[in-house]
Structure 1
């Protein structure tokens, strides 16, 4: 819901966009801050085939499913399994047991999510899931909207961004990887291999659905826990490195924020008022056998780790 960190002058600021009340979060269509699943991002036409059987998931994004359906993991009640509020590395662990057929997905799934201050300015998010009795697709993402200048302080177009990604996955107007292609970023407006202001080329890219901006799936170079992205805001002196162990990431630049979205403390969020770095598996992998599989077999464990390393 919030992350308060100092700027270069020692002034604390909340760098996460969000809402003031529970009811506003429950009715939030922008996904401010949640962990999403059972399958984050989109499933084309709300259907997939697994082990010879066709499954239909709840469609809540036109013809498609997004972030697990209308009552995905961001809309359910989790149980607090463990909480340590003091010491050098306070943390909280949440648990959710997803039932067979929830939102159309097969099999029971046990999920744990731990949020920990692993150092004074590092927020670690550790998620894992175990399929209990049926194979099922699993793909989580953390949908934080960040603005290192402070939430509600304006747009993020002046933030400099560097991504560890030499390839990206072209998406169609419904933001689906319909072609199944993975192509180089070299020579395109999607190249962030060296630090570039987010707004430098944003007017020349399509975020789908008629919107201008980045809503782009990147393939992250390397494997295992590694640096995915680095962001810096020169005016505040704040910086962020994101480390993760997933193969892909969605860069979203708040294209759908439109100067009418009311946020925290009376702020109104303008277009490009926040950016999201959503590490995940390949989009719609369950319908693309050419992509790395996101299918979790019974007894196997899915693990998704993230470290948000802030500096100032």
Structure 2
């Protein structure tokens, strides 16, 4: 009997040793929490690592950047993007944490536009306007994913003609790469078989402080832009490009985000804080700094590079303290900022703005680099 018990115990030990315990990612995520099914397709979490030990995690639901771990001034690995710890919370949320945005990032007035004499009706999901392609935009669908190597993942999907009212079958490919200089490099491509409009971006919410549940009012912002596109009361551009000089929107030199955010300046009042498109001085040169944010708490700085003509700076003005994210962190009002590289809002209805029209035989390309450095 004693020998039988010992044999059973030995067998149990062997079985337990054979079962490899799941390891969490550097940011504390469990891959198993992202294994599910949405719209008949399997969801997953893709982990990217570089030679420095930095890490970025992406899910194929909404093409979302779930976490980005980079070192702070003391070398401590720090998660600098907001998000959820499981796929169920992403599916249940109407928010855009870390998401791919399309077919048209930002707003299209009255949810309609005319192209080549044909009027197209889009979802009206934002005060009668179309925002971020509607409620079932790129942020709320499944993408086909292929991990290219340890540092890159490719997402692809064909959006059918008429999807969300937009014309043309749109074939989209997006590649996320975690580079060896601690940058999240995002390359977008798209082709169409019918004239359409395209404006793709990423909607990551950044907090560089390394302090869970903090706001971003003491973090600094610089945007390399002499001008911006003023908006009406519903945040639609008024067909004008205006100078930032002598306004609280002059961010050409670093300033604390909270320094002017509650001033009675018309454009800040309309957005409840910063929520505007800046006209970049970079002339589409990916090598020229477009914007930079910095946390004096962590020493982490975010440099943004893009070939796009504009950038939307948004300061979490509609965050209400009800969202509970990774590790149970409650995200407060103005708990993050967004820097969305883009063409200007409502460009399909604004002939004076750079064109967003894509035609058969052409290739849409957009490039955004979020590079993280330490200012000691």
- Taking structure 1 as the reference length, what is the TM-score of the superposition? 0.94
1:248 aligns with 2:313: no
Query: Which of 319, 328, 332 matches 1:257?
Result: 319
Q: Provide the rounded CA distance (Å) in 2 between the counterparts of 1:298 and 1:27.
A: 36
Runs of 4+ deviating beyond 3 Å: 205-211
Residue in structure 1 matched with residue 359 of structure 2 by the alignment: 297
Q: Distance in 1 between matches of 2:132 and 2:67?
A: 21
- SS of residue in 2 equivalent to 1:23: helix
Q: Is 1:123 aligned to residue 184 of structure 2?
A: yes
Give the C-alpha shift of residue 120 in structure 1: 4.0
Query: TM-score if structure 2 supplies the norm length?
Result: 0.79
Query: Which residue of the other structure, out of 115, 123, 146, is the alignment partner of 2:206?
Result: 146
Distance 1:209 1:19, change over 3 A: farther
RMSD between superposed Cα atoms in Å: 1.5
Determine the C-alpha separation between the residues in 2 that align with 1:232 and 1:194.
Answer: 12
How far did residue 27 of structure 1 move?
A: 2.8
Aligned counterparts of 1:13 and 1:221: Cα–Cα separation in 2: 31
Q: Indicate if the aligned counterparts of 1:152 and 1:263 stay in contact, CA closer than 8 A.
A: no
Is 2:169 the partner of 1:91?
no
Larger Rg: 2
Q: Name 2:247's counterpart in structure 1.
A: 188
Task: Give the 3-state SS of the residue equivalent to 1:103 in structure 2.
Answer: helix
SS of equivalent to 1:180: coil
Change (3 A) 1:227 1:100: same
Match of 2:231 in 1: 171
**Equivalent position to 2:132, from 59, 67, 91:** 67
Q: Distance in 2 between matches of 1:209 and 1:59?
A: 23
Q: Is the 8 A contact 2:181 2:371 kept in 1?
A: no
Alignment of 1:156 onto 2:216: yes
**How many residue pairs align between the two structures?**
306
1:38 maps to 103
2:114 matched residue in structure 1: 49
Deviations 1:132-174 (A, max 9, x none): x210000011001000013634111111111111100001121
Q: Which residue of 1 aligns with 2:67?
A: 2
Counterpart for residue 173 of structure 2? 112
The separation in 2 between residues aligned to 1:43 and 1:233, in whole angstroms, is 33
The answer to whether 1:275 aligns with 2:275 is no
- Kindly provide the CA deviation profile for residues 9-60 of structure 1, in whole angstroms up to 9, marking residues without a partner as x: 1212211011122122123223101010011111111110000001001111
Distance 1:219 1:151 in 2: 31
1:64 and 1:123 map into 2 onto residues whose CA distance is: 31
What's the secondary structure of 1:166's corresponding residue? strand
> Separation in 1 of the partners of 2:270 and 2:344?
23
Distance 1:81 1:188 in 2: 46
Could you tell me how far 1:222 is from its partner in structure 2?
2.6
